[in-house]
């Protein structure tokens, strides 16, 4: 190998600390996606869902970028995520915990200035008790179940909650909210059903601002907005509406290195269990990513990677740390040890991989492992 090429690869390997996959996160594209949603929402504020480490892309870097775009409302799922994120943001930013708090976390939450989303009378009582202990009013958000049966005050608890609010409370309600279950399907009847239920709740709890729209909800129209939308997947380049052209800009690309290439004869068994048998002489490449790195095992014998725009099908079972691809469509010698193949990028989107794996883009994005070298630009 030419000494200059070897020296260049050595510098890259040292910077990447031995990584064999390169995950690039385009923070400028993230910012443009946020601005696009803001422009659609008009006067309605746009928050950001940054749970699961900002869908696997790094919550601190993502949140700081969005803060620079004017975002001031950040939503995580669990209190531990809020604890990590809160110090990274200025004091005028608010961090909300969508799942609420487990018993015992209330005082710490209050002292850190984190806002819980209360989903039940049990959580309400715990937060009210913390306010009494601290002898001050504590902020919170109330989430109502409008038909998803996941989180939120159920219908049978609403009367008691309303009575508690009428009697006076030491909890400051910042807004009320619910979550749309089928907003990615713009024609789903459930969207209208949940809207009608949210309208009834607004009548039962008058005077409070409403937060309703998620990524898909932004595209359902202003009736679904409330005063604060909570986009998630759309920020990161995922399609907010199934079956529609994706209006968002890609944020993530992923390139993975080739570990080994070989030629095998017809009848060769490939991968665990010999699940794939070659029908002809075949040239193969093993790449350094598997299901531990976010390439689902369900991509076995149906997914693909790309090299210079040419599709290279995955053959055999995806392993924990590697996958094998058929490179017969390439000129001999075009792909060698150390070459990079495109897993996500110009030729393959999150939705493409999700479709081949029989899953959703959220799972692909959040599953990308920590063995990749992350490059922010």
DSSP 127-158: HHHHHHHHTS-EEEEEEB-SS-SSSSB-GGGH
Query: Could you tell me the pTM of the whole model?
Result: 0.93
What angle do the packed helices 158-166 and 189-204 form, to 10 degrees? Answer: 30
- 320 belongs to an annotated ligand binding site: yes
Give the model's confidence band at 132: pLDDT under 50 very low, under 70 low, under 90 confident, else very high.
Answer: very high
Question: What tokens were used for 195?
Answer: 């809207």
Active site residue 51: yes
- What is the reported pLDDT for 139? 98
Query: What is d(CA 294, CA 354) in angstroms, rounded to the nearest whole number?
Result: 11
Residue 315's nearest CA partner among 274, 352, 348 is 274
Query: What is d(CA 229, CA 214) in angstroms, rounded to the nearest whole number?
Result: 6
Domains of the chain as residue ranges with CATH: 3-22+250-376 (2.40.37.10), 27-236 (3.20.20.10)
Query: What is d(CA 312, CA 343) in angstroms, rounded to the nearest whole number?
Result: 10
- What is the reported pLDDT for 17? 75
- 198 belongs to an annotated ligand binding site: no
Mean pLDDT value of segment 332-346: 96
Query: What is d(CA 231, CA 130) in angstroms, rounded to the nearest whole number?
Result: 30
- What is the reported pLDDT for 258? 97
Residue 1's nearest CA partner among 336, 284, 373, 330 is 336
Residue 101: pLDDT over 80? yes
CB 40 within 8 A of CB 240: no
What whole-number percentage of the chain has pLDDT above 70? 96
CB 290 within 8 A of CB 319: yes
CB 224 within 8 A of CB 180: yes
Q: What is the pLDDT of residues 251-272, one digit of tens each?
A: 999 999 999 999 999 999 999 9
- What is the reported pLDDT for 10? 46
Active site residue 36: no
Q: What is the pLDDT of residues 231-253, one digit of tens each?
A: 999 999 999 999 899 999 999 99
Of 22, 34, 36, 51, which residue is the catalytic one? 51
């Amino acid at each position: 190998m030419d000494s200059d090429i070897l020296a260049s690869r050595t510098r890259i390997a040292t910077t990447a600390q031995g990584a064999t996959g390169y995950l690039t996160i385009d923070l400028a594209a993230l910012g443009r996606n946020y601005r696009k949603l803001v422009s659609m929402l008009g006067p309605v504020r746009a928050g950001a869902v940054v749970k699961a480490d900002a869908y696997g892309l790094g919550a601190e870097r993502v949140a700081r970028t969005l803060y620079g775009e004017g975002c001031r409302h950040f939503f995580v799922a669990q209190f531990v995520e809020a604890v990590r994120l809160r110090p990274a943001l200025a004091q005028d930013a608010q961090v909300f915990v969508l799942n609420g708090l487990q018993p015992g976390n209330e005082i710490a939450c209050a002292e850190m200035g984190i806002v819980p989303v209360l989903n039940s009378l049990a959580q309400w009582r715990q937060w009210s008790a913390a306010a009494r202990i601290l002898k001050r009013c504590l902020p919170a958000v109330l989430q109502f179940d409008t038909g998803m049966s996941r989180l939120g005050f159920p219908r049978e608890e609403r009367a008691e909650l309303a009575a508690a609010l009428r009697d006076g409370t030491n909890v400051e309600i910042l807004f009320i909210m619910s979550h749309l279950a089928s907003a990615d399907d713009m024609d789903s009847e459930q969207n209208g059903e949940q809207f009608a239920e949210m309208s009834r709740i607004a009548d039962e709890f008058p005077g409070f601002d409403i937060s309703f729209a998620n990524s898909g909800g932004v595209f359902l129209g202003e009736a679904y907005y409330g005063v604060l939308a909570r986009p998630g997947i759309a920020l990161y380049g995922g399609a907010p509406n199934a079956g529609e052209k994706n209006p968002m800009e890609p944020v993530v690309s992923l390139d993975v290195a080739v570990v080994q290439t070989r030629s095998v004869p017809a009848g060769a068994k490939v991968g665990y269990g010999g699940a794939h048998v070659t029908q002809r002489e075949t040239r193969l490449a093993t790449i350094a990513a598997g299901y531990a790195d976010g390439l689902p095992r369900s991509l076995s014998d149906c997914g693909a990677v790309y090299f210079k725009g040419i599709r290279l099908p995955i053959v055999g079972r995806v392993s924990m740390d590697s996958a094998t691809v058929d490179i017969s469509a390439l000129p001999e010698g075009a792909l060698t040890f150390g070459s990079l193949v495109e897993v996500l990028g110009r030729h393959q989107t999150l939705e493409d991989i999700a479709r081949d794996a029989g899953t959703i883009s959220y799972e692909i994005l959040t599953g990308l492992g920590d063995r990749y070298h992350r490059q922010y630009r």
